[in-house]
């Protein structure tokens, strides 16, 4: 059973074109479409070890294959992509790692919370992820698994959760001011999110966060995976972060999430707040 859940979780894929759009919004004349398309190609890679051909990249981004071929050639020349020995498939290159390292150097917050969230992952024997708002997704910037944890879901740093269909997304939306949230939800609807479902899920989760500090997601992202999530505020307001704890539904039942996992998440956040690590 445990292996079956892990396998199903590993089979879950992101929406092929649910990335940031490579086209300007509202006729923005300053928007550089060629640059946006190049970045969209990099976003097509879902983990650092994945190798993709031009056809697969085109399918995931919605870009024409000839355009993808020119972009991958350029990114390969600049070190943002590498290719396999046959030269037919591409993977992320060292220049991407350099950008990631620069981000982590400039933003020490993920490193500051690390020991607290590793202890939390071990206490709940589940995945604990720190997500950062990026476009229409929350991207994992850190991920912890409990020491001795036996069931592992196939998500890694860099994994993207859709805002409209995840507890982490709902927690992230709740942390925004009204103007930011309204604009983002408009974009989510325009991107294809079911408006009625999105509004109902957000209202329910926002009410839970107001009452308890966290929201519970029962099968929001996938029917076999449950989660609990809470917004978390980095000092200085740099970025919109959220925490989630996720795992197989047969282990993280709604009762467990509400009565044990969620309260432990809030205890950890309060402990970090008392030390000035989070606002």
Q: Is residue 174 part of a domain?
A: yes
Residue with the larger pLDDT of the pair 6 and 85: 85
Q: Are residues 128 and 232 in the same domain?
A: yes
Q: Which of 100, 121, 156 is the last residue of a domain?
A: 100
Q: Are residues 77 and 122 in the same domain?
A: no
Cα 56 versus chain centre, distance: 21
Domain limits for position 144: 107-274
Q: Are residues 41 and 153 in the same domain?
A: no
Residues contacting residue 33 through CB under 8 Å, at least 6 positions apart:
22, 23, 24
Please work out, in degrees rounded to the nearest 5, the angle formed at the alpha carbon of residue 131 by the alpha carbons of 263 and 239: 110
Q: Are residues 46 and 172 in the same domain?
A: no
Going by C-alpha positions, the residue among 161, 136, 133 that lies closest to residue 153 is: 161
CATH number of the domain within which 164 lies: 3.30.450.40
Task: Determine contact, residues 52/45, Cβ cutoff 8 Å.
Answer: yes
CATH number of the domain within which 87 lies: 1.10.10.10
How far, in Å, CA of 94 to CA of 73, rounded? 15
Q: Are residues 41 and 177 in the same domain?
A: no
Q: In sequence order, which ranges of the chain are alpha helices (DSSP H)?
A: 2-11, 33-43, 54-61, 65-78, 94-106, 109-124, 167-174, 178-190, 195-212, 254-256, 262-274
Residue 178: predicted pLDDT: 93
**What is the arithmetic mean of pLDDT over 253-275?**
96
Q: In the predicted model, is pLDDT for residue 10 greater than 80?
A: no
Q: Are residues 156 and 258 in the same domain?
A: yes
In the chain, the number of structural domains is 2
Burial class (CB in 10 A: 0-12, 13-18, 19+), 14: middle
Mean pLDDT, the chain, integer: 85
The model carries a pTM of 0.70
Q: Which of 42, 68, 100 is the last residue of a domain?
A: 100
How far, in Å, CA of 198 to CA of 200, rounded? 6
Q: Is residue 19 part of a domain?
A: no
Q: Are residues 73 and 137 in the same domain?
A: no
Q: Are residues 191 and 174 in the same domain?
A: yes
Q: Is residue 182 part of a domain?
A: yes
Q: Are residues 244 and 261 in the same domain?
A: yes
Q: Are residues 180 and 253 in the same domain?
A: yes
Lowest mean per-residue pLDDT among 99-103, 203-207, 219-223: 99-103
**What is the arithmetic mean of pLDDT over 96-125?**
81
Q: Are residues 111 and 52 in the same domain?
A: no
* CA distances for 121 relative to 18, 153, 245, 261, angstroms: 29, 13, 8, 10
Q: Are residues 121 and 259 in the same domain?
A: yes
DSSP string, 227-252: EEEEEE--GGG-S-EEEEEEEETTTS
């Amino acid at each position: 059973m445990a292996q079956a859940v892990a396998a199903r979780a590993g089979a879950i894929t992101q929406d092929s074109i649910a990335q940031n759009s490579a086209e300007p919004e509202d006729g923005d004349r300053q928007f550089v479409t060629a640059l946006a398309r190049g970045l969209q190609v990099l976003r097509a890679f879902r983990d650092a070890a994945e190798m993709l051909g031009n056809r697969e990249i085109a399918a995931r981004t919605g870009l024409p294959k000839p355009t993808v071929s020119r972009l991958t050639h350029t990114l390969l020349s600049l070190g943002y992509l590498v290719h396999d020995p046959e030269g037919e498939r591409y993977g992320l290159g060292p220049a991407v790692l350099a950008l990631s390292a620069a981000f982590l150097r400039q933003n020490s917050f993920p490193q500051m919370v690390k020991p607290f969230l590793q202890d939390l992952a071990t206490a709940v024997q589940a995945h604990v992820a720190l997500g950062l708002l990026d476009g229409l997704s929350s991207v994992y910037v850190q991920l912890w698994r409990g020491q001795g944890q036996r069931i592992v879901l196939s998500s890694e740093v860099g994994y993207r959760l859709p805002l409209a269909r995840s507890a982490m997304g709902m927690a992230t939306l709740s942390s925004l001011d009204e103007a930011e949230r309204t604009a983002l939800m408009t974009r989510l609807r325009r991107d294809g999110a079911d408006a009625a479902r999105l509004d109902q899920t957000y209202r329910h989760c926002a009410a839970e966060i107001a009452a308890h500090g966290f929201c519970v997601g029962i099968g929001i992202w996938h029917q076999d995976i449950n989660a609990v999530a809470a917004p978390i505020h980095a000092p200085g307001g740099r970025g919109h972060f959220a925490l989630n704890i996720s795992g197989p539904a047969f282990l993280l039942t709604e009762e467990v999430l509400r009565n044990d996992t969620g309260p432990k998440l809030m205890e950890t956040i309060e402990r970090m707040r008392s030390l000035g690590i989070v606002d």
